[in-house]
Structure 1
């Protein structure tokens, strides 16, 4: 009886192992193309060499303009960098490129080796995605030009809608400098469209809009980013215009309540 049970167990194992293997979903193959890390802080480029090998280039930007840069080949989902001049073969950087839905998630497998390719405040990790057709660099430039055309034609409400749609569609693929520049434009369009409160709310989402003055901005940003941030004065100017418009509206409302025909105590 014991021998029969053992045979049955072995038979079950022989049947279930192939079924488990057959049911396992294989890893999706990586596709050639250009992938952008969230916030436009990195670019991963995959391409096929003439030999058929999948090659990669990976460049990222961290705080205070620190950078990472690496290139090499991908086998399966493991990326291996080309050895630096002072590296031995066992010291190269290895990365994991895993497909996660629409993203390629990059993980570092050899931290010490990969750190040689990076500044102190930069890293390779993150989610990289192909931008949709309406969020490529060319498309964004065209959409911003369309905004300006609408704004100068005094179609302020339409211009505001265009800028809002651009931010909604493409924020994941825009560097935060660019987002602040678009929000500054959007706020002015909202103001001209008679929406000063929306104008103020938009500016409050920018780096300059979150502080009172240059000293506050200097304290909030790393030195290189502070020096490169060109929109502070425009944002503060637009903020004053929005605040003045809100104050004027309140005054007009008070005057209306107390003017001719208003109820008397």
Structure 2
């Protein structure tokens, strides 16, 4: 039997189609697990694929303890929010996967999505799958280890645990909450006399870009407190290098 020759064009076309299918696959399937919103203000849980569907659950918090809660399914990349028992509602949500992060956005028909939330809460944003050390239970455990090390006068050990958290788990902490951890780690560096204080303080350099007048009035006093502490630590770090 004589085989017909296959043109280079046909081969390239076949390769392109296969590559396209592979490239599009992540858009229709989301790795299961827990994804935390930046600042640990929300949790997206996605179940494994079962009979062509994945289930999801979103729980998030906003100001004044207001919260959001919605469930649904994912089929071939399409997100369907469960509105059963809520009446005539339409909530269109889009998930976008990028490495270990999922960005949640409201779609075109999202007029009723706020019905799943309190007045001062929302669920959109970037959710990420943290490494084991950055999961909330692990952070809590390591915070206890820092206190235990300090109680045993193991300042250097406390410093390294604290440093690991602020280095690897940045997205798990909110702005001022993260800054508090940076300050604490800088204090530990000064106590351990390891000359790392200035380097640690640089992790909070974003604070210098904040404009006090643009912050909500209730946050301006907090800003002043952090600004005073930042200046004091900056001076002490400089002195420790001499």
Matched, 1:23 2:36: no
Contact 2:170 2:178 in 1 (8 A): yes
* Deviations 1:7-52 (CA, angstroms, capped at 9, x unpaired): xxxx999988766433312322223211112221221011259877
Rounded Cα–Cα distance in structure 1 between residues aligned with 2:77 and 2:106: 12
Q: 2:59 maps to which residue?
A: 59
Rounded Cα–Cα distance in structure 1 between residues aligned with 2:170 and 2:184: 15
Q: 2:3 maps to which residue?
A: none
RMSD of the alignment, in Å?
Answer: 4.4
Deviant stretches of 4+, over 6 Å: 11-17, 49-52, 235-241
Contact 1:190 1:199 in 2 (8 A): no
3-state DSSP of counterpart to 2:188: helix
Q: What are structure 2's unaligned runs of at least 5 residues?
A: 1-6
Contact 2:186 2:197 in 1 (8 A): no
Give the CA deviation at 1:141.
1.8
Contact 2:46 2:54 in 1 (8 A): yes
Give the CA deviation at 1:240.
8.8
Contact 1:78 1:94 in 2 (8 A): no
Query: How many residues were matched structurally?
Result: 228
Q: 2:172 maps to which residue?
A: 173
Q: 1:98 aligns with which of 56, 77, 96?
A: 96
Contact 1:95 1:108 in 2 (8 A): yes
Rounded Cα–Cα distance in structure 2 between residues aligned with 1:33 and 1:222: 38
Contact 2:182 2:204 in 1 (8 A): no
Q: Which moved more, 1:32-41 or 1:150-159?
A: 150-159
* Deviations 1:72-130 (CA, angstroms, capped at 9, x unpaired): 22212222212164532xx3312222321121222221231223223455433322221
Rounded Cα–Cα distance in structure 2 between residues aligned with 1:127 and 1:138: 21
Sort the Cα spacing of 1:150 and 1:49 in 2 relative to 1 into closer, same or farther, 3 A.
same
Give the CA deviation at 1:226.
8.8
3-state DSSP of counterpart to 1:73: strand
Q: 1:188 maps to which residue?
A: 187
Q: 2:117 maps to which residue?
A: 118
Contact 2:31 2:48 in 1 (8 A): no
Q: TM-score, normalised by structure 1?
A: 0.64
Sort the Cα spacing of 1:65 and 1:198 in 2 relative to 1 into closer, same or farther, 3 A.
farther
* Deviations 1:131-180 (CA, angstroms, capped at 9, x unpaired): 11111122212222222233233333442232122100111123446424
Q: 2:146 maps to which residue?
A: 147
Sort the Cα spacing of 1:44 and 1:193 in 2 relative to 1 into closer, same or farther, 3 A.
same
Q: TM-score, normalised by structure 2?
A: 0.69
Q: What are structure 1's unaligned runs of at least 5 residues?
A: 1-10, 254-265
Q: 1:17-96 to 2 correspondence within 5 Å? A: 20-24=16-20, 25=22, 26-28=24-26, 29-47=29-47, 53-63=53-63, 65-83=65-83, 85-88=85-88, 91-96=89-94
